[in-house]
Amino acid sequence: MKKIILLSIAICLSFTFTAQELQNFKPKNYTYGLKNLRKNPKKIYIANFNVNIQVYKDAQDKKVGSKDYRKGKVVGDAKAVAAVGLGTLDKKLVQRKVNQLYNDYLTELKNNGFEVISSEVAGKTSSYDGWTKAEGPFVKESEIPGVVKIVPENYSYYYKEQSKFKNKLFKKLRVNANISSTISKELDNALVSDIELYFLFTEDGAKDWLKGNAAKVKINVNYRLINATAVTNIKKNKGLFSVGSKTTDRVNSRVDFTQGKNNIGGSALSFYSGILKNDLEISGVMKKEKIVAYQRQDTDRITSFKNFAIAEDKISKNVNIINVDSNKFSEGFYMAGKEFIFYHLNEVLKNYK
């Protein structure tokens, strides 16, 4: 079989909108023991304040060929690859908006009479023995392909250096929640907040079961603060026509508050987990689009006129760069993040009255 790239496209998309709007904000929470909060001093330690933004996404599909010499038929492989990335995104502006979101959070806490415990004080607890301190501001690639992590200025946090597998296991078992209760106890039952925001601009398109003898893949463009989802990307392939397994990372946006620790079992005395019922879409920044890559299989047959059959392996690529307005993009995630954080913070504050 021959191998040939039939199509390779690079497209730049640029959109202009008037204003950013949040669509259908529906918060949700899981709580217990909140009546205990008013019994403790108004002190809080911010264990995590992370903003994660997707900047790139790729996906692929492959239809494997076949050889049937009894029927005199040869079918080649077909592979379709779609990819999309954000262009012209101002890193410094994104950082400033994350700083603003964090500073607004601090101001709201202080306006409600809270003393914010520094990372230096928290770092002296036994809970953080063997942990490493990271200091903002910075923007860096996260462990999730295509996603960057932004940490605000004048903010520090601690993390445990371990394998990606252990990090996933810790998230699945909610080990951080247990650590937060221990930290709270060591900080005289201070409230511990853990904030993780994920802003994605793509989602996997529905699989096309009627594609026939072809490879087809779709990526939907939809900018939003996600509730919970799986972020998938292509693992690096050894060959042009090979299809490796895809990476899958489960993520969710949350605003968690933990206070105290039970002597038996180690669970928190009070716990509030703020999430979303549905993704919070951010309109007015980028147009909803479907990015599709499609490649039909090549077929050849032995006939009375020729005694051989050759089918080509074919690949189709659709690569897009979306040139977004950095101001509107940054204002969009700032608005959504503030709406989300402040709603759940205010729900917690009600229990101190």
% of residues, the chain, pLDDT over 90: 58
Cα distance between residue 184 and residue 190, in whole Å: 5
Distances (CA, A) of 30 to 132, 227, 258, 262: 30, 14, 12, 18
3-class SS of residue 106: helix
pLDDT(172) > 90? no
- Among candidate residues 157, 152, 176, the one with its CA nearest the CA of residue 257: 176
* Nearest-angstrom CA–CA distance, 321 and 85: 5
The pLDDT, as a whole number, for residue 91 is: 95
Give residue-wise pLDDT tens across range 257-291. Answer: 999 988 777 789 999 999 999 999 999 999 999 99
To the nearest whole number, what is the mean pLDDT of the chain?
Answer: 85
Q: What is the pLDDT of residues 137-150, one digit of tens each?
A: 999 999 899 999 99
- Stronger pLDDT, 55 or 246, i.e. the higher one: 55
Question: Helix axis angle, 164-172 relative to 175-186, nearest 10°?
Answer: 80
Stretch 247-259: mean pLDDT, rounded? 94
State the pTM of this model: 0.87
Residue 235: pLDDT above 80?
A: no
The angle formed by the CA atoms of residues 327, 331 and 333, to the nearest 5 degrees, is 125
3-class state of residue 249 by DSSP: strand
Q: Is the pLDDT of residue 164 over 60?
A: no
Average pLDDT over residues 177-202: 91
* Per-residue pLDDT, 173: 36
CB 101, CB 334: distance < 8 Å: yes
Cα–Cα dist 49/192, whole Å: 11
User: Please, which pLDDT band fits residue 311 given cuts at 50, 70 and 90?
Assistant: low
Residue 306: what pLDDT?
Answer: 59
Helices marked H in the chain: 91-111, 119-122, 164-172, 175-186, 326-349
Q: Please, are residues 316 and 295 in contact by the beta-carbon 8 Å criterion? A: yes
- Tens digits of residue pLDDT in 296-306: 877 766 665 65
Please give the pLDDT value at position 242. Answer: 54
> What does the pLDDT read at residue 24?
87
Q: Which residues pair with 320 in a beta bridge?
A: 11, 84
pLDDT tens for each residue of 83-137: 999 998 999 999 999 999 999 999 999 999 999 999 999 999 998 999 999 999 9
The pLDDT value given to residue 73 = 78
DSSP 264-305: TT---SEEEEEEESS-EEEESSS--EEEEEEEEPPEEE-BTT
Residue type, 235: K
The whole-number pLDDT of residue 266 equals: 74
Tens digit of pLDDT for each residue in 17-26?
446 688 789 9
Using alpha carbons, select from 201, 104, 96, 225 the residue that is nearest to residue 150. 96
